[in-house]
Amino acid sequence: MIKTFLKQHNLLVKLFLFAAIMALPIFAGLKTASATSTVEDSAVGMFNQSDESFTEAAVIPFKVGGNFGFIMKINTDQPKVQIKEELILPAPGNWGPEENGFSISKDRKTGTVIQEAESSDGEIYYSGAWEFAEGDPTGNYTINVYLDGQLVKTFNFTVTPPEKQNTVTSPEKK
């Protein structure tokens, strides 16, 4: 009886199966295609703790306790956005403890922070700040930024040793 039904209603069964497969992401709680978050503007550089300013720079002088990182403006139609930062060093770094959404790779070259940011009127102003510690390497650094699991920005910059700190240059805009 079931074989007869399937033969007579083959197209109907195929359409039902197709619709069920297409609906799986919705029922699984995945985001729909209409959810968007984009980076409108961003920069990498140094944070000055004394006056809470930010200076855009592609070459950053190493100084124990010195703060560096990025700033960005995010446009989104979501009330919250998950932001993941990956700081990749040229050699193993002197990281703090793994806690509060912070993890360190086994080779100690990558530190990762995951957190949520709330939007206000569809905008998020976000800064990812990091601090140099005694023993951190100099050389080429990378920061990858992900919004809701999607890589949206890669910052590349150079950290110079104390003896090569004559000038600070601005990065090229991409």
- The pLDDT confidence band at residue 27, using thresholds 50, 70 and 90, is very low
As a residue count, the chain comes to: 174
Residue 34 gets the label, from left (phi > 0), alpha (psi -120 to 50) or beta, of alpha
For residue 74, how many other CB atoms are within 10 A of its CB? Answer: 24
Reply yes or no on whether the pLDDT at 145 is more than 70.
yes
Break the chain into its structural domains and give their ranges: 1-30, 37-164
pTM of the model: 0.73
d(C-alpha 13, C-alpha 33), whole Å: 27
Lowest mean pLDDT among 5-9, 147-151, 159-163: 5-9
Amino acid at site 156:
N
Model confidence pLDDT, tens digit, residues 46-89: 999 888 899 999 999 999 999 999 999 999 999 999 999 999 99
* CATH of 37-164 among 3.40.50.300, 2.60.40.1930, 2.60.40.10, 3.30.565.10: 2.60.40.1930
Q: Are 71 and 54 a contacting pair, CB within 8 Å? A: yes
d(C-alpha 86, C-alpha 108), whole Å: 12
* Helical (H) or strand (E) element with 72: strand 67-76
Which tokens belong to 147?
Answer: 């919004």
Beta bridge partners of 126: 72
